[in-house]
A and B are shown apart, each in its own frame.
Chain A
Amino acid sequence: MKFVTEFRDRELVEREAKRIHQVVTRPWRIMEVCGGQTHALLRYGLVSLLPEQVKLIHGPGCPVCVTPIEVLDCAVALAEQQGAILCSFGDMLKIPASNGNLFQCRARGGDVRVVDSPLEALSLAQQNPHREVVFLAVGFETTAPAHALAVLQARELGLSNFSLLVSHYLVPPALRLILSNPKAQVDGFLAAGHVCTVMGAEEYRPIVEEFQVPIVVTGFEPVDLMQGIRMVVEQLEAGRAELENQYVRSVATQGNPTARAAIAQVFEPIKQNWRGLGSYDESGLGLRADFAHFDARKKFNLNLVPAAANSCLGGDIMMGIKKPWDCEKFGNECSPDHPLGAPMVSAEGACAAYFKYEMTEKPT
């Protein structure tokens, strides 16, 4: 298949791996930021092609993993107590909230719909003028443009029964957070190619300079990932710390100006709570005051009540401090069919990926 098979070419992958073996002289810890990259690394068995010195740390770039339970509790309350039509991407339905997940909420009578796009939720609002339709808008910079466009369209259409329950996150603050934690010890990053397709790569340059850490914008196919890792290792071995772009076929320097403009028009940076990691200033996106009437939290006067903490090690796992197998519940009490924490829920969560690809024990 054009533009796919070329990037899964075994010879090219092996050539990159060989180069990594040639240049590496000491241990390095490299974080792939995005859960999609984690999944691909394990699915294609790329980790086994790397020299022992190169360790990959699986970062916090999975929206399902970082969305706090209290946001899901709000979603359940909207569907059950406010009688709203609660629309969400499919993955979010599986995450356990304080009182069961959204599938269970639906079974109790909550009107929960799976949609593929926020625009589908918008159509539902048009078709059901007498009902409130709330879209659970979670994600990083990748989903933000579509969410922004949905709000702009809703305004244009004059829809008063449509709103977003927003839980949006930004990648650069997460990298700063990880780099500021002395326990995390990350030597270099593979930045998420799709996030940079939207935002461009320049916002990572200050991080590279401030922390003297190599960041390589990287794609999601085996050749992309191997090449990205090779570029980080080469920088580290040469004592360089630069911003490089492996994913040139998709990432332009300025990103996608139309998408960025939509985000900037609708959203503004806010203090955001990351599940397992804590709250940080300007680490997320919230609706601007102009669009407050599309904000479900304000509209329905929802209070985020901090949910009881459970014993999930998700935060430490996303910081690279612990591996899934360091958790005593991993693979026993906690598995994809009975997830106790978010990294086991999403297919892109580190725990689910480790479970699926049988990395259940620390290699000896």
Chain B
Amino acid sequence: MNQDNSRIILAHGNGGKLQADLLANWIFPEWGGVVLPADRDSQIMPWSSSQLVMSTDSFVVDPLFFPGGDIGHLAVCGTTNDLAMSGAEPRFLMCSFILEEGLPLNDLRRVARSIGQVARELKLQIVGGDLKVVERGKGDGMFINTSGVGCLRGGKTPGPERLRPGQRVLVSGDLGRHGLVVLLSREGIQFTSELQSDCAPLWPAVRALQDAAIDLKCLRDLTRGGLATALHELAQSSGQSFLIHENHLPLLEPARGACEVLGIEAVYLASEGTMLVVVDEEDVAPTLEILRARSGHQLACEIGQVVSTNPDLGPETRLQAEWGAPRRLGPLLYEALPRIC
């Protein structure tokens, strides 16, 4: 009898022999070099830091593979970036898969490989996870959930409560590439082959800034909803306002062109390897110098500042174009793109 052994079947999720083989043959080898602790139902980990930081995120991106990354890459970057935005060093990761019956095993291996690569780069321990299989038609190939634990390294913790008028708003790179790449690959629109997702871990850049004793007032990754939504949320939680200069926003030329053609505003597009950095004026130059020296952050620049809130209007973000009055930027309302992360 012919057997197709190249795809996920329901029995891979039953917790028995097939599942153990799947993990042992298709996933764990790709995580080689990543420390996997003893097999048990829950993990016991060494902990000495006084403050622990946790974050979790689920990933349902369609398509699973896109120029510049894949769902696995995204799943590690997304969660560890959230830890890094609190100034925390990512230490441990839990990684759970929900697979759809019929998924090619090679796709699973590619995704596992991406996860392993980022984990090694970050010296991140994958301490556990889960794997379930759902019937064909009940999933979308693969969903991943990751939960991360990190520790604070000392120094002041960045956060919206530390925002004050006069502080400078920087971005660590060009905007909107991930959102655009996913949209273009899903819709099969090909503008140019050079546009790749910016998906990347942000912790190395944050650590470099911490090592240089930059006082990071606030960090925020620019994921779903993009820059506009991130600023809106920060304004709401801090009570401060922002003034951003439209012609300072870094965008790659193909991205700018794609936005024009599709009628999308780049400030609403997601990035997965670009963050907002708020610092005092005197820290702008060293911050940009450190960021620009790093791969993926060469286009880091100052885009605006924190300003005091007009009590009649409440906390808000305004975008100053080359002329005219600055216009208000609201949060993303309807997703232009069905699922991007």
Contacts and interface: CB of A to CB of B under 8 A. Distances in A.
A357 interface: yes
Interface stretch (A42-50, A153-161, A204-212): A42-50
Contact of A45 (B257, B260, B323): B323
Interface string A278-298: 000000000000000000000
B38 interface: no
How extensive is the interface on chain B, given as a class? 10 to 19
Interface string B329-340: 010011010100
| B189, B253, B321 interface centre (most CB from chain A within 10 Å) | B321
B211 interface: no
Interface string A187-199: 0000000000000
B187 A116 contact: yes
Given A114-B338, A356-B330, A358-B328, A4 B260 contact: yes
Contacts of A44: 321, 323-324
B327 A116 contact: no
A192 B322 CA distance: 25
B256 interface: yes
Nearest to A357: B327
B325 interface: yes
Measured as residues with beta carbon below 8 angstroms from the partner, the interface class of chain A is 20 to 34
A116 B328 contact: no
Interface string A325-364: 0000000000011000000000000000000111000000
A78 B25 CA distance: 48
A1 B253 contact: yes
B321 A90 contact: no
A43 B333 contact: no
Interface string A45-77: 110110000000000000000000000000000
B176 to A, nearest CB: 15
Contacts of B328: 356-358
Contacts of B324: 44-46, 48-49
A336 B333 contact: yes
Kindly name the residue among B189, B323, B336 whose own CB sees the greatest number of chain A CB atoms within 10 A: B323
A317 interface: no
A1 B333 contact: no
A259 B297 CA distance: 46
Given A1-B253, A1-B257, A358-B328, A94 B334 contact: yes
B330 A10 contact: no
Contacts of B333: 336-337
Given A116-B189, A356-B330, A10 B336 contact: no
A191 B338 CA distance: 34
Given A1-B257, A43-B327, A358-B327, A10 B187 contact: no
Contact of A1 (B189, B260, B325, B330): B260
B336 A45 contact: no
Contacts of A356: 327-328, 330
A357 B321 CA distance: 13
Given A90-B336, A94-B334, A45 B253 contact: no
Which of B187, B260, B324, B338 has most chain A Cβ within 10 Å? Answer: B324
A13 B322 CA distance: 12
A91 to B, nearest CB: 9
A356 B329 CA distance: 8
Contacts of B334: 90, 94
A163 to B, nearest CB: 23
B321 A45 contact: yes
A104 to B, nearest CB: 13
A337 B189 CA distance: 29
A357 B327 CA distance: 6
A1 B247 CA distance: 13
Contacts of B256: 1
Contacts of B260: 1, 4
A10 B338 contact: no
Contacts of A13: 323
A336 B187 CA distance: 26
B317 to A, nearest CB: 13
Nearest to B253: A1
A226 to B, nearest CB: 11
Nearest to A358: B328
Contacts of A45: 321, 323-325, 327
A337 B333 CA distance: 7
Contacts of B187: 116
Contacts of B325: 45, 48
Contacts of A14: 323
A355 to B, nearest CB: 9
Nearest to A39: B263
Interface string A1-44: 10010001010011000000000000000000000000000011
B330 to A, nearest CB: 7
Interface string A295-319: 0000000000000000000000000
A116 B260 CA distance: 15
Contacts of A10: 322-323
A18 to B, nearest CB: 13
A105 to B, nearest CB: 15
Contacts of A358: 327-328
A358 B324 CA distance: 13
A356 B256 CA distance: 22
With a 10 A CB-CB cut-off, give which of B328, B330, B334 has the most chain A CB atoms.
Answer: B334
25 contacts: A1-B253, A1-B256, A1-B257, A1-B260, A8-B322, A10-B322, A14-B323, A44-B321, A44-B323, A45-B327, A46-B324, A48-B324, A48-B325, A49-B324, A90-B336, A94-B334, A114-B338, A116-B187, A116-B189, A336-B333, A337-B333, A356-B330, A357-B327, A357-B328, A358-B328
Given A1-B253, A4-B260, A44-B324, 13 more contacts: A1-B256, A1-B257, A8-B322, A10-B322, A14-B323, A43-B327, A45-B324, A45-B327, A49-B324, A90-B334, A90-B336, A116-B187, A358-B327
Report, nearest first, the 5 A-B pairs whose CB atoms are least far apart: A45-B324, A10-B323, A10-B322, A116-B187, A1-B256
